[in-house]
Amino acid sequence: MTIHVINPNSLSDVTEGIDAAIAPMRAVSPVAIETHTLSEGPPGIETAAHIAQVVAPLTKRVEDLTQGASAFVVACYSDPGVAALRETVWQPVIGIGEAAVLTAMQRGARFGTISIQPGSIPRHMAALGVMGVATRCAGDLALSLSVRELSDAQRTEARLRKVGTALRDAHGADVLILACAGMARYRADLEEELGLPVIDPCQAATAMAIAAVALERAAGSKGS
Amino acid sequence: MTIHVINPNSLSDVTEGIDAAIAPMRAVSPVAIETHTLSEGPPGIETAAHIAQVVAPLTKRVEDLTQGASAFVVACYSDPGVAALRETVWQPVIGIGEAAVLTAMQRGARFGTISIQPGSIPRHMAALGVMGVATRCAGDLALSLSVRELSDAQRTEARLRKVGTALRDAHGADVLILACAGMARYRADLEEELGLPVIDPCQAATAMAIAAVALERAAGSKGS
Amino acid sequence: MTIHVINPNSLSDVTEGIDAAIAPMRAVSPVAIETHTLSEGPPGIETAAHIAQVVAPLTKRVEDLTQGASAFVVACYSDPGVAALRETVWQPVIGIGEAAVLTAMQRGARFGTISIQPGSIPRHMAALGVMGVATRCAGDLALSLSVRELSDAQRTEARLRKVGTALRDAHGADVLILACAGMARYRADLEEELGLPVIDPCQAATAMAIAAVALERAAGSKGS
Amino acid sequence: MTIHVINPNSLSDVTEGIDAAIAPMRAVSPVAIETHTLSEGPPGIETAAHIAQVVAPLTKRVEDLTQGASAFVVACYSDPGVAALRETVWQPVIGIGEAAVLTAMQRGARFGTISIQPGSIPRHMAALGVMGVATRCAGDLALSLSVRELSDAQRTEARLRKVGTALRDAHGADVLILACAGMARYRADLEEELGLPVIDPCQAATAMAIAAVALERAAGSKGS
Amino acid sequence: MTIHVINPNSLSDVTEGIDAAIAPMRAVSPVAIETHTLSEGPPGIETAAHIAQVVAPLTKRVEDLTQGASAFVVACYSDPGVAALRETVWQPVIGIGEAAVLTAMQRGARFGTISIQPGSIPRHMAALGVMGVATRCAGDLALSLSVRELSDAQRTEARLRKVGTALRDAHGADVLILACAGMARYRADLEEELGLPVIDPCQAATAMAIAAVALERAAGSKGS
Amino acid sequence: MTIHVINPNSLSDVTEGIDAAIAPMRAVSPVAIETHTLSEGPPGIETAAHIAQVVAPLTKRVEDLTQGASAFVVACYSDPGVAALRETVWQPVIGIGEAAVLTAMQRGARFGTISIQPGSIPRHMAALGVMGVATRCAGDLALSLSVRELSDAQRTEARLRKVGTALRDAHGADVLILACAGMARYRADLEEELGLPVIDPCQAATAMAIAAVALERAAGSKGS
C-alpha cells in the first residue's frame, strides 16, 4: 500500500523539494510514500485556469495509481482537483492547503499565511471562506519575490523573516503557514528565529494522509 | 515511543471501549498506543467543575508518562485539560472533540453532532466558537438517554438512527460526529444505514496523534 | 455589442428555457443578448469534475466571442469557470449563482435556496463561504426529483410549493432562490403562492450583466 | 418611465456631481434617469438624527414621483430611508451603500472603504453587519479632511492615494469603495494609480437600478 | 436623579404594562425610575417608517428630560432612536432589544427569540447583524397573533408555550427572549413551564440602565 | 445582601486596587459590595493550569459566601470558574472579561483590547469565539511590560497611550478595554487622552452584578 503525493505542476525539481520535505516521514509511515510529478500540468499553478486544467490529468493519474493506493495528497496550496478526486476515488484525498490550515488551527489561536505572490491571496481568502474559518486567520502577506529572487536563498530567508515578523507583531499571528509547496527548507530556521510554530503544507498533508490511513484501518476500509 | 490515550474519567469499562475502538490502529502506528484510565477523575465528565478538577491529576499523569511519550490523546469530548497540557509538555496533545471536528470538516460541508445529553450541547457550541467554525455545524441533537437506557444497545441504536436521520434530513448535515468517547461500536452500522460518514472522536484523535508523530519526525522533534 | 449568456452544459433545450426566461429583458437592454449552448460541455453539471472540465471549452468559446462582447453570463448555478474567465477577458463575467445570491440579499433578510438534488447543497454551502454570506442563508433544501419527475410540471410545482413552504415557515426565509438554470417557468406562480420574492438566477444574472454594461460606460470602458 | 436618483441632502452642487458621475449611463439606460435634490434635507448627512429626519421628506418625494417611476436610488452612503421606502413603494429601491458593497464583492476578495470622516466608520461597520459581510471588508480608513480641505482637489487626490495605498498594502484590499456620494471625479485616476478597481457608489447603484428595471421586466412588473 | 423609561408608541396601556414589569426594580434602584408615553408616537412601531418618525419627538422628549436624568431606556424592541440619542445626550441610552440580547448571552449558549409578528423578524436579524452576534441566535419565531387574539391571555399563553417549545426542542435554544415591550406578565410562567430562562427586554434594559448609573459613578460622571 | 467580588489570585494588593476601583459604586448599590482575595489561588493567573486550579477553591469560597449573597463577580479577565459557578449557585455570576466585552459592545462599533502580556491574547481570542463576537474586536495588543516595569506608573501610562493610540488609529477601535483586573487607576486619564471610552473590567462587572440584582428582583428571585 502507498500514499501517493502528487505535485500537479510539471516541475520535477519542485517534486524533489517536496520529496525531501517529507522523506523523514517514511520511517514512521505504515505504508510507502511516493512522490509524483504531473508532467501534463503547467510549470506552475498560478491562475484559476491552471487549477481547472490540472483536474483531468490529475484524475487520470490518480485512477492509474488507485490499485494499492492508501491515500492521495495533492501538493499545491490551491488544492486543485481535491473536490473532484474525493468524488472519484474511495481513498482519502488530502489537499495541502486544507491540511495546513487544519494543522495550524491546532497549534495557535490565529494563523498568519506567507504567500509567494499577492495574486494568490484572494484564492486563499476564498478557501478560508469555504472552510468557514476566516476569523482564525490573522493575515496573509506575500513575499512578492520573482522566480529569480526566490532562487537566492539568502534573499528569500531575509524576506521570510520580515514578512513573518510582520504577521507576528502587527497582525497578531501565533502560528505561521508557508503557503507554497516548495518552501520546506526554510521552515525550521524561520520557526526558531520567530519563536512561532511554522507549518509546511506538504509535511502537514502527508501527516494527515498517514492519519487517514490509520483512521480507515479503524473504521474498516470502505474499499474492502 | 508511545502514544498515550487517557480517559479522564474513572470508569475502566469506558477505557476498554476506547481501547477496542482504536485497537485496529496499532497495526499501522509507528509507535505503541496505550490506553489509560484516570482513576482520580470523576466517574463521568458532565459539568464545568468536572472539567476543571481533572486538569491537575491529568497533568500529573501526563508528566509521569512523558518519558518515551510521542503524543497524548485526551479521550473526553469536552477536551478537558488540553490547553493546560499544551502549555506543559512538548509533545503534541490531541483533544478528541477538536480532532473529531477537524476530521469532519474534511469529510463534508456541514457536520451534525450527536450528543448523549442536552446539557453538553452548550459546551459543544462554546468549543465551536473557540475553533471559529460555528457556521460549519448543521446542528447538535441529544440522544437524551439515561445511563440505563444507554446500556440497552438496541434502544441506543434506534435512537442514534432517529437523531442521525433528523440531522441529515432536517438540518442538512452531510457528515456526523458521535460526540462521546464511548459510542464507537455503533459507528459503522450508523454510517451504513444513513449513508453518511460517521466520525468516532477517539479514532479521529488517535489518527491525528499518529499524524502528529509523523509531522514531528519531519520537522525535527522538539524533544531531541 | 452583445451580452453573451452561455449554458455550459450541452443540452440545447436547457438553453431554450434560459432564452425564454430572459427574453423580456431584450426590450430594455442597451445591447443585444444572445444565448449559447456549450456543445462541448457535459449534458449536466453535477460534479466537481464537470465543473473543471467545462472551463477550457468555455474559455475558448468566450475568447471566440470576445470581439463585440459587452459582458458574459455563465448560466450554471455552480458558476463554473467564472474565476478563470475573470482572469482572461476584460469584460464583466457574471455567474448566475453569485448573481442570484446578491440579488436575494437586496430583497430579504435571509434567503432560502431550492436545489434540485441534495448532492449540490455542499457546493452551494462552499460558494456561500467564498462569498462570506453564510449567515444570510436560512436554508437549502432539495426537490430530490429525478429527471423524469422533473419533466412532470404538475409534480414539480407541487414539490416546489412544499419545499418553498418549508423554507419560509420552518427555516425563516423571506426570499427564495431557484438554484438551477432551468426553473424560471415556475418562478412567478411560486412567488404568488408563497407571498415571497422568488429569484430566477438566469434573470438575476442577465440583469447584473446589463448593470455591468452600464457601469463600464460610466467608468470609461477598459476596452476602449 | 424614469429612474429617480435622489440626493437626500440639500446641497444642489452635490447633486450636480452625482449627475455628472452617472451621466454616461443615460446612453445605455432603457429609461430616463433624473437626479433630484431633497431640499428639505440637511446640508449633509452625518448623524443618526440626520438619517432619521430625511425619511419622511424622502418618502414624500418618492411618493410624489411614483407615477411613471421605474426605480429609486437613494444617493447617500448611509442608505437613509431605504428600508422605509422598500415598505412603501413597489418599485425597486437601491441604496448606494449597499449597491457599492455588492458590486465590490464581484470585483475582489476583500474590499477597502475610503470614508471622508472617521465618525462615519462605525455606521459603515453596522451596515456590513446587517448585510452579513463583515469578513469581506479588509478595512475602512478615513480621509479626515475638512470641507475646506476637500475643496482642494490636489490635496484630496494626494490623501486618496495615501489612504488607498494603505488599504491595499497594509490591509490587503483588492478593490476599493469611495464611501461618499461626491467623490466620483477622483475614481478613474485612483483606479489607475493603485491598480485596483475603485467603485463609485452612485454609479454602482444606478447600474443596479438599471438591472432592477430589467429584472422587473423579466419577472412581470408587480405594478402592472 | 432619574432613569427615564420611554415607550415610543402612543399607547398608555403599553406604558402601564412596562411600568408594572419594572416596578419591583424601584426598590433596588439608586435613582428614581419613571415611565413615559411618547404621545407623539404611532400607536405601534411596526415599520421602518415608524422607527424613523419617532426619532425627532423622542429626542425632543429626552432633551426635555435631560436635567436630572441618569439614563434613558427606549422601550421598543426595535431600538428606535437609540443611535441618535447616544449622539445627543451624555447620559447612557439603553435600547431594550440590545439589552435583551446582551442579557441572554450571559444566560445561555444560544438564545431563541419570540416575536409577535413575522414581519419584525427581518428587523431582528438586521439588529443581530449590527451586534455581530448572529451565530448566538438559535432561531426567531413569531406568535402570529392579531391584536385581538393577543388580548386573550389564555390563547397567548398557549401560543407562547408552543413557540417556546419549538425554539427549545427544534432549534436548540437554551434561553428565550420575549421580543416585545408588552409581554412581561407571561415571563415567569413561561420560564417555569419550559425550564429555560426567559428574558423580558424592558426588565433587562432597566437593569442595564441601573448598571450604567453605577458605572458612571465609578468612572466619574461625564456630566459632572 | 451582598455582592461578592472575588480576586482569584492570592495578591491582596491586587484586591485592594479592585476595591478602590469599585468603591464609588457602593453609594449606588442596593446591596453591600465586598471584595475578597482567594488566598488559595496562585499569585497571578497566567496559564490554563492556573485557570483550572482556582476552580475548586473559588467554588468552595463561593459556597461559603452563598448565604446572603446577591451575586458574585470573578475578578480575573480570563473568567476562571465562571461556567462552573453558574452550574453551582443560583445567584448571578459575572466574569469581568465577559462583562467588559458586553459593556464595550454598547459603547462603540469595534473594541480594542489592551493586554498586559502577549501570552494572554490567544485566551482572549478563544473567549471572543465562545461569545461569538470576534468580528466586533478591532484588535488586541499587549503592553509587554514586566512586573517591575508595571510598577513604574509613568512608564505604564506612556505604554498605555502608545498601545491605545495604535488600537484607535491603525486598528480602528472606537472603544478600549483594559484587559486586566488591576489597571483601573489609569482608566480616566487614558479615556481623556485618547478621546475614546475606556472600560475597566472590574467596574463593568460590578455594574452588571448590580443590574443582575435588579433583574432578579423584577423576575422574582429564584432563591425565594
pLDDT of residue D223: 35
3-class SS of residue C173: coil
User: What average pLDDT score do residues A156-163 get?
Assistant: 97
> Cα–Cα distance between B32 and F51 in angstroms, integer?
32
pLDDT of residue F224: 35
- What value, to the nearest 5°, has the Cα angle with vertex A164 and ends A159 and A165? 100
Domain residue ranges in chain F: 2-95+203-219, 98-200
Encode pLDDT of B79-132 as tens digits.
999 999 999 999 999 999 999 999 999 999 999 999 999 999 999 999 999 999
The DSSP code sequence of E6-72 is EE-SS-HHHHHHHHHHHGGGGGG-SSEEEEEE-TTS-SS--SHHHHHHTHHHHHHHHHHH-TTEEEE
Same topology between domain A2-95+203-219 and domain A98-200: yes
pLDDT of residue C32: 98
What would be the CATH architecture of the domain defined by B2-95+203-219? 3-Layer(aba) Sandwich (3.40)
Mean pLDDT rounded to a whole number for chain F: 95
> Cα–Cα distance between B15 and B11 in angstroms, integer?
7
Encode pLDDT of A59-77 as tens digits.
999 999 999 999 999 999 9
3-class SS of residue A113: strand
CA atoms within 13 A on the CB side of D113: 29
Percent of chain B with pLDDT over 70: 98
Structure confidence at residue F148 as a pLDDT band (50, 70, 90): confident
> Cα–Cα distance between E98 and E78 in angstroms, integer?
9
Contact A42, A58 (CB under 8 A): no
User: What average pLDDT score do residues A30-50 get?
Assistant: 95
User: What average pLDDT score do residues B157-174 get?
Assistant: 96
**Contact with chain E for residue D83, Cβ under 8 A:** yes
Fold of domain B98-200: Rossmann fold (3.40.50)
User: What average pLDDT score do residues C17-45 get?
Assistant: 96
pLDDT of residue C220: 76
> Cα–Cα distance between A168 and A161 in angstroms, integer?
10
User: What average pLDDT score do residues E68-72 get?
Assistant: 97
> Cα–Cα distance between E210 and F5 in angstroms, integer?
18
Question: CB E172 to CB B140 under 8 A?
Answer: yes
Residue C221: pLDDT over 50? no
User: What average pLDDT score do residues E132-139 get?
Assistant: 96
User: What average pLDDT score do residues B31-43 get?
Assistant: 96
> Cα–Cα distance between F186 and A177 in angstroms, integer?
38
Question: CB F108 to CB D126 under 8 A?
Answer: no
What amino acid occupies position E59? T
Name the nearest CA neighbour of E138 among E176, E169, E172. Answer: E172
User: What average pLDDT score do residues F114-139 get?
Assistant: 95
Structure confidence at residue C148 as a pLDDT band (50, 70, 90): confident
> Cα–Cα distance between B178 and B174 in angstroms, integer?
14
Which residues share a beta bridge with C111? C137, C175
Residue E127: pLDDT over 70? yes
> Cα–Cα distance between C126 and B105 in angstroms, integer?
12
- Partner residue opposite C140 with nearest CB, options B108, B135, B172: B172
Question: CB E140 to CB C174 under 8 A?
Answer: no
Give the contacts of F185 (CB within 8 A, at least 6 positions apart).
F17, F20, F21
What Å distances lie between residue F100 and C81, E90, F26, F176, CA to CA?
Answer: 47, 20, 19, 10
Encode pLDDT of C153-210 as tens digits.
999 999 999 999 999 998 999 999 999 998 999 999 999 999 999 999 999 999 999 9
Q: How far is C158 from chain A (nearest CA, A)?
A: 31
> Cα–Cα distance between C83 and A130 in angstroms, integer?
15
User: Which candidate in E107, E110, E137 is best for mutational testing of the B interface (most B CBs within 10 A)?
Assistant: E110
pLDDT of residue B147: 79
pLDDT of residue B84: 97
Give the contacts of E21 (CB within 8 A, at least 6 positions apart).
E184, E185, E200, E202, E203, F218
3-class SS of residue C108: coil
The DSSP code sequence of chain F is -EEEEEE-SS-HHHHHHHHHHHGGGGGG-SSEEEEEE-TTS-SS--SHHHHHHTHHHHHHHHHHH-TTEEEEEE-STT-TTHHHHHHH-SS-EEEHHHHHHHHHHHH-SSEEEEESSGGGHHHHHHHHHHHT-GGGEEEEEE----HHHHT-HHHHHHHHHHHHHHHHHTS--SEEEE-STT-GGGHHHHHHHHTS-EE-HHHHHHHHHHHHHHHHHHH--TT-
For residue F51, what is the nearest residue in chain B, using CA coordinates? B52
Name the nearest CA neighbour of B202 among B115, B73, B85. Answer: B73
Q: How far is D220 from chain A (nearest CA, A)?
A: 36
Give the CA dihedral D193, D195, D197, D198, nearest 10 degrees: -20
Contact B7, B14 (CB under 8 A): yes
pLDDT of residue D220: 76
Question: CB A110 to CB F126 under 8 A?
Answer: no
User: Which alpha helices (DSSP H) does chain A contain, by range?
Assistant: 12-22, 48-53, 55-65, 82-88, 96-107, 121-131, 147-150, 153-169, 187-194, 201-219
**Contact with chain D for residue F135, Cβ under 8 A:** yes
Per-residue model confidence as pLDDT tens for chain D (224 residues): 999 999 999 999 999 999 999 999 999 999 999 999 999 999 999 999 999 999 999 999 999 999 999 999 999 999 999 999 999 999 999 999 999 999 999 999 999 999 999 999 999 999 999 999 999 999 999 999 987 888 899 999 999 999 999 999 989 999 999 999 989 999 999 999 999 999 999 999 999 999 999 999 998 744 33
The DSSP code sequence of B162-205 is HHHHHHHHTS--SEEEE-STT-GGGHHHHHHHHTS-EE-HHHHH
Name the nearest CA neighbour of D71 among D220, D201, D205. Answer: D205
Residue B220: pLDDT over 90? no
What is the SS3 string spanning D97-136? HHHHHHHHHHHCCCEEEEECCHHHHHHHHHHHHHHCCHHH
Residue A222: pLDDT over 50? no
Contact F71, F93 (CB under 8 A): yes
The DSSP code sequence of B87-142 is HH-SS-EEEHHHHHHHHHHHH-SSEEEEESSGGGHHHHHHHHHHHT-GGGEEEEEE
Regarding chains A and E, contact by 3 or more CB pairs under 8 A is answered as no
Residue B19 cell numbers, joined: 481501547
**Contact with chain E for residue C169, Cβ under 8 A:** no
User: What average pLDDT score do residues F175-181 get?
Assistant: 96
Q: Which strands, in side-by-side order, build the sheet including F2-7?
A: F32-37, F2-7, F69-74, F93-95
DSSP3 helix / strand / coil % (chain A, rounded to 5):
55, 15, 30
pLDDT of residue E182: 87
Question: CB A122 to CB D135 under 8 A?
Answer: no
What Å distances lie between residue A195 and A175, D53, F40, F104, F145, CA to CA?
Answer: 9, 55, 34, 33, 19
**Contact with chain A for residue F224, Cβ under 8 A:** no
Mean pLDDT rounded to a whole number for chain A: 95
Q: How far is F64 from chain E (nearest CA, A)?
A: 23
Q: Which of residues 27-56 of E touch F (CB under 8 A)?
A: 27-31
Contact A112, A175 (CB under 8 A): yes
The DSSP code sequence of B10-42 is S-HHHHHHHHHHHGGGGGT-SSEEEEEE-TTS-
Structure confidence at residue F222 as a pLDDT band (50, 70, 90): very low
**DSSP at A186:** G
**DSSP at A198:** E
Residue spans of beta strands (DSSP E) within chain C:
2-7, 32-37, 69-74, 93-95, 111-115, 137-142, 175-178, 198-199
Residue B34: pLDDT over 50? yes
Give the CA dihedral A12, A16, A21, A24, nearest 10 degrees: 140
**Contact with chain D for residue F109, Cβ under 8 A:** yes
pLDDT of residue F17: 95
Give the contacts of E208 (CB within 8 A, at least 6 positions apart).
E94, E99, E102, E103, F106, F211
Question: CB D129 to CB F110 under 8 A?
Answer: no
**Contact with chain A for residue C25, Cβ under 8 A:** no
Residue E167: pLDDT over 70? yes
Name the nearest CA neighbour of C5 among C178, C201, C214. Answer: C201
> Cα–Cα distance between D14 and D48 in angstroms, integer?
20
Which residues share a beta bridge with B93? B72
Q: How far is D201 from chain F (nearest CA, A)?
A: 22
User: What average pLDDT score do residues E108-117 get?
Assistant: 96
Mean pLDDT rounded to a whole number for chain C: 95
